Amino acid sequence: MVLVDDSDLVFGDNPDVDTLTNWAQNQKVTGLRKHHPKTYDEVAALVRQKRAEGAKLRVMGVAHSWSNVLPDDNTDVVFLDNFKLITQSPNDYSIVTVQAGVLQSELADWADSPSRGYGRFSYLYQNTLVQPITFVGACQTASHGSGFVPPTPDYIIAMTIINANGEIKFYDSSHPDLRVMAACLGMCGIVLDVTVRFNPDTSATMVTQTKMQYYDLFPPRGVPINDSYNPLKHFIESHAGGAINYSPYNSALLRSAKLDVNMIEEYHQSDGVWAHAVDNLPGTPVCPSRDGLPIWGTQHEPFYDKDLFVPEDWLMNIPGSRIHRSFMGDWRLNSKWANYSPFMGQVVNNQVLFMNPPSFSYRTSVTYNTSNAGSTHFLRYIDGITSGLDFEFAFKVDDDFGNIYEAWRVMIEESENMWREKDMIPLNIFAAIRWVGASECPLSHAFGKPGERFAMLEPTSSHGTTGWEEYLKRVMARWTQIRSKDGSLPKPHWAKWYKDWTPEVIPYIKQVYAAQIQLIRPVVLKQDPEGIFRTSTLCDIFDLPCLNC
């Protein structure tokens, strides 16, 4: 049994303050009554008390979501940050039980810790995003990593949960409702712990970080894609996992010139795309360090790959902040776009310590051996960036990736259209692609049949970006017309939309998730018939009774 160190993260802001702001800072709720119970029985008693009072009780992780899943105003909120135990079965190290307060980064640290002993380096099947969010929270929102295997909640084989009666219940894989409860947006009850099946392989993985040319992955329209030339399909299918991120016009800084809308084509010809590839190395041991530096990023150990950058042009940090100045815009570019930061994505994506930032002189490629937990594409400090704006849809992948190319071009083209028409650059951090296999959890935007594959596309921008809402409306209007060859439409990630940005997202969710909602509703009603755990928005989407609405 391992007790994970307490996180530096402050759960629930100040307990004496009745407000809560989400990580993205796009929502704030007031009139909250915050609770930090220390035992399972205390949580159960709290549920029974609030039900007797006719009050709502919403469980929260770290509020790392953009969407309308935060509590309604005047709600009791329970934080499970006191529940930090991680245990593995004495008979099978791949069976791991994780309490609800454990962060994903802490789970990765534990997986690679020498104190774990037998089974060290075995981890989740999918190289999942590691950052200060709770593992259970990631599961409840049907979140994912990357690689054509099922996403995070699919590996839950048992769970302990408190229903609306305040009863502590245990469910395992024999129960028909487990796949719904594994990803349920907190509507099925308060999850206290989950038991997960890890990949038993303790071998190393190989990470290759490459700066590819933009057109080498995303050819211009008019260039035919066929069996012999399909660069995006080839890259994704050649690796076990990874990610692709593009910070628009990142070659502009290298020109030492102001941004010029008339040079979009020249930028595309010179821009780099950050391509992160992960490959399995069966039988190869994990190298725990290189030159005395740990090569996996953790909460407690620094990651700085010295071979990746050449320190030629060191930049200063913002005084009193660990956010690099380039995140706020670069003085060498037109100051009109104060939020434009073409290299921000590259800095974050390469896990660089902000306290000692490198130059941005970027080598073509670097490869290193690491653990499965260390192979993820964001390792550290994502909680400190200014990425306040995010939007993600999942597209079922056609065999030729034609719909994925089209969805990507929509993201880029609509930002450029607004630059030409309105002198705005609404896409100013990066556009990203990740990919997963089909999920058995009905809530998932990758819900499907075995063998089906999904690509997740998302634009991200910094706080205060002018034109973001109009940009999303344009993107969504075109994305929702892109059907896969089987006729299916793309679906939004449950944590990465906001109805104030795109009001049309709610009716669209009801449309594309209709069949899945019918699988989820009966389970939610069994667990919480009155709606003590639900928000008004979730009641609307799932057509459920709403308490005190």
| CATH classification at residue 323 | 3.40.462.10
Residue 211 in domain:
yes
What's the CA gap between 111 and 126, in Å, rounded?
Answer: 14
The pLDDT of residue 27: 87
Residue 75 in domain:
no
Q: Is the dihedral of CA 384, 389, 394, 397 positive or negative?
A: negative
Residue 224 in domain:
yes
Q: Tell me the two tokens of residue 404.
A: 């994925």
Residue 241 in domain:
yes
The pLDDT of residue 435: 96
Phi, psi for 515 (deg, rounded to 5): -65, -35
Whose CA is closest to 109, among 8, 192, 5? 5
The pLDDT of residue 413: 98
What's the CA gap between 389 and 166, in Å, rounded?
Answer: 36
Angle at 385 between CA 356 and CA 264, to 5 degrees: 95
What's the CA gap between 175 and 186, in Å, rounded?
Answer: 18
Residue 109 in domain:
no
Strands 389-390 and 361-362 turn out to be unpaired
What's the CA gap between 342 and 365, in Å, rounded?
Answer: 19
User: For the chain, which ranges sit under pLDDT 70?
Assistant: 1-17, 128-131, 253-258, 288-366, 377-388
Residue 112 in domain:
no
**What's the structural domain count of the chain?**
1
Residues 6+ apart with CB under 8 A from 54: 547, 548
Inter-axis angle of helices 514-527 and 505-512, nearest 10: 90
Q: Is the dihedral of CA 124, 129, 131, 134 positive or negative?
A: negative
Residue 30 in domain:
no
Question: Residues 43, 63: contact at Cβ < 8 Å?
Answer: no
Whose CA is closest to 159, among 149, 168, 146, 147? 168
Q: What confidence tens digit (pLDDT) does each residue in 205-244 have?
A: 888 878 789 999 999 999 999 999 999 999 999 999 999 9
CA 442 to chain centre: 18
Residue 274 in domain:
yes
Phi, psi for 408 (deg, rounded to 5): -65, -45
What's the CA gap between 19 and 176, in Å, rounded?
Answer: 38
Task: Specify the length of the chain in residues.
Answer: 549
Question: Considering the entire predicted model, what is its pTM?
Answer: 0.88
Q: The domain containing residue 340 runs over which residues?
A: 204-279+292-494
Question: Residues 405, 413: contact at Cβ < 8 Å?
Answer: no
The pLDDT of residue 542: 98
